[in-house]
Copies of this chain bind each other. A is one copy, B any other.
Amino acid sequence: MAQQEAQQRRPSIHDVAGHAGVSAATVSKVLAGVTTVKPENAQRVLDAVELLGYRVDPLASDMRRAKRRIIGAIMPEFESEFFGQMVTELEGLAEQRGYTLVAASSRESETREKEILARMHDWRVAGVVLAPVRNEHGPAADFMKANGMTGVLIDRVLSDDAFDTVSADSAAASAEVANMLVGKGHKHILIIGLAEQAATVRARLDGFRVQAVALDPSIRIDVITSEVSVEPLRSSLRDYFASGERPTAVYSLLLKGTLVALSEFRRRGWHCPNDISLVGFDDAEWMQVTWPAIAAVVQPVRQIASEAMNLLFRRVEGGEGPPTARLEPCQVLMRESVGSPGGGPHSGGGDRQ
């Protein structure tokens, strides 16, 4: 049997060497696939490895290299489908290359983001996949530059002069949403978002506006954003509706905004799409089972993860050249929450005074 039940100390490379009657260096070479080892000795090493159930200690193995076989991933949160899927994908891709992924959540805090990065630097990670809280110009990216770390920035970024970036093509997707809504005849559209995420919010906003105005110069586009959290956004939206504003469609630039919009519709007794249309950036599993199903922009998580890892490992392996800025195409899922303005009877009043 190739196992020692509940053994106290795991066998080290020296134990293997002892059993095989060779030196530790030879064991190391056999396991590394070096060919200058006599076949007979190689076999004895492999037998000893099998017998003892020996496995390399990755920590000790990494000690001598400047870059350890660890990839750090920093996400703003783990609670959403998007970042959950992202971590799953990144983990698989890192594993494929024999690296361990260490994921951490910055919890939407730039201070924490930098602390985590410092800790990853302590770990001498080979590279970092950073999804910044705000954008590519935060303190975390500065820290990475100042310390010569290699990394890739994803999601809430557009482009950077030091790091490769990968994100969803928000602008193109938003233009497509504009096509959809203007095509349906909407002439007064409300956009909601969080300004904190400057990079992507501006791209999504501009992408939508440019296309919408091109299609219909007389269109009215209102914008409501809040700086940090969603609660101010909720009250702004409430005030906006209470003041009698009555757009025929709402485009939310982020998932939490979609939830806020839905709950405000509820408060006022408005139904989609008869009373108002709704499109959200970022898809979620539940959006297709509710009534109505919610139209959404689907972000290409797998492509972003895959491209980010490709770029990262290119740099880890010493790849030179100017940083690239990739934009991965999104898919816009038309669903029942979008209709034509006035497509059905309004079931609730616009204001309550």
Known: A5-B146, A78-B84, A290-B262. A102 touches B105 (CB 8 A): no
**Which residues of B sit under 8 angstroms from A80, Cβ to Cβ?**
81, 84
Tell whether, in the assembled complex, residue B55 and residue A59 are in contact, meaning their CB atoms are under 8 Å apart. Answer: no
Tell whether, in the assembled complex, residue A122 and residue B290 are in contact, meaning their CB atoms are under 8 Å apart. Answer: no
With an 8 A cutoff between CB atoms, is A285 at the interface?
A: yes
Known: A59-B124, A148-B6, A289-B262. A78 touches B87 (CB 8 A): yes
Interface residues of A, dominant DSSP: mixed
Tell whether, in the assembled complex, residue B285 and residue A259 are in contact, meaning their CB atoms are under 8 Å apart. Answer: yes
**Which residues of B sit under 8 angstroms from A121, Cβ to Cβ?**
55
With an 8 A cutoff between CB atoms, is A91 at the interface?
A: yes
User: Could you mark each residue 81-93 of chain A with 1 if its beta carbon is under 8 Å from any beta carbon of chain B, else 0?
Assistant: 1011101100100
Taking the closest CB of chain B, its distance from the CB of A75, in whole angstroms, is 10
Tell whether, in the assembled complex, residue A78 and residue B88 are in contact, meaning their CB atoms are under 8 Å apart. Answer: yes
Taking the closest CB of chain B, its distance from the CB of A265, in whole angstroms, is 8
Tell whether, in the assembled complex, residue B7 and residue A148 are in contact, meaning their CB atoms are under 8 Å apart. Answer: yes
With an 8 A cutoff between CB atoms, is A235 at the interface?
A: no
Tell whether, in the assembled complex, residue A146 and residue B271 are in contact, meaning their CB atoms are under 8 Å apart. Answer: no
**Which residues of B sit under 8 angstroms from A105, Cβ to Cβ?**
87-88, 91
Interface size class of chain A, counting residues whose CB lies under 8 Å from the partner chain: 35 or more
With an 8 A cutoff between CB atoms, is A263 at the interface?
A: yes
**Which residues of B sit under 8 angstroms from A123, Cβ to Cβ?**
58-59, 100
Known: A79-B88, A91-B104, A262-B290. A56 touches B122 (CB 8 A): yes
**Which residues of B sit under 8 angstroms from A102, Cβ to Cβ?**
100, 102
Q: Bound state CA distance, A147 and B79, in angstroms? A: 33
Tell whether, in the assembled complex, residue B59 and residue A88 are in contact, meaning their CB atoms are under 8 Å apart. Answer: no
Tell whether, in the assembled complex, residue A79 and residue B81 are in contact, meaning their CB atoms are under 8 Å apart. Answer: yes
**Which residues of B sit under 8 angstroms from A146, Cβ to Cβ?**
3, 5-6
Tell whether, in the assembled complex, residue A118 and residue B55 are in contact, meaning their CB atoms are under 8 Å apart. Answer: yes
**Which residues of B sit under 8 angstroms from A263, Cβ to Cβ?**
288-289
With an 8 A cutoff between CB atoms, is A60 at the interface?
A: yes
Q: Bound state CA distance, A68 and B55, in angstroms? A: 17
With an 8 A cutoff between CB atoms, is A77 at the interface?
A: yes
Interface hits, A131-160 → B, CB 8 Å: 145-148
Interface hits, A1-46 → B, CB 8 Å: 3, 5-10
Q: Which of B8, B57, B107, B259 contacts A289 (CB 8 A)?
A: B259
**Which residues of B sit under 8 angstroms from A352, Cβ to Cβ?**
none
With an 8 A cutoff between CB atoms, is A284 at the interface?
A: yes
Q: Which of B103, B147, B285 contacts A103 (CB 8 A)?
A: B103
Q: Bound state CA distance, A286 and B80, in angstroms? A: 11
Q: Bound state CA distance, A80 and B147, in angstroms? A: 35
Q: Which of B5, B6, B10, B122 contacts A57 (CB 8 A)?
A: B122
Taking the closest CB of chain B, its distance from the CB of A238, in whole angstroms, is 14
Q: Bound state CA distance, A8 and B291, in angstroms? A: 58
User: Could you mark each residue 110-123 of chain A with 1 if its beta carbon is under 8 Å from any beta carbon of chain B, else 0?
Assistant: 00000000110111
Q: Which of B58, B84, B259 contacts A77 (CB 8 A)?
A: B84
Listed by A's residue number, 13 A-B pairs whose Cβ atoms lie within 8 Å are A3-B146, A55-B121, A59-B68, A78-B78, A79-B84, A84-B84, A87-B103, A88-B105, A91-B104, A100-B102, A259-B289, A262-B289, A286-B286
**Additional A-B contact list (9), CB under 8 Å, known A55-B121, A79-B88:** A6-B147, A6-B148, A58-B122, A60-B63, A78-B85, A80-B84, A259-B286, A262-B290, A263-B289
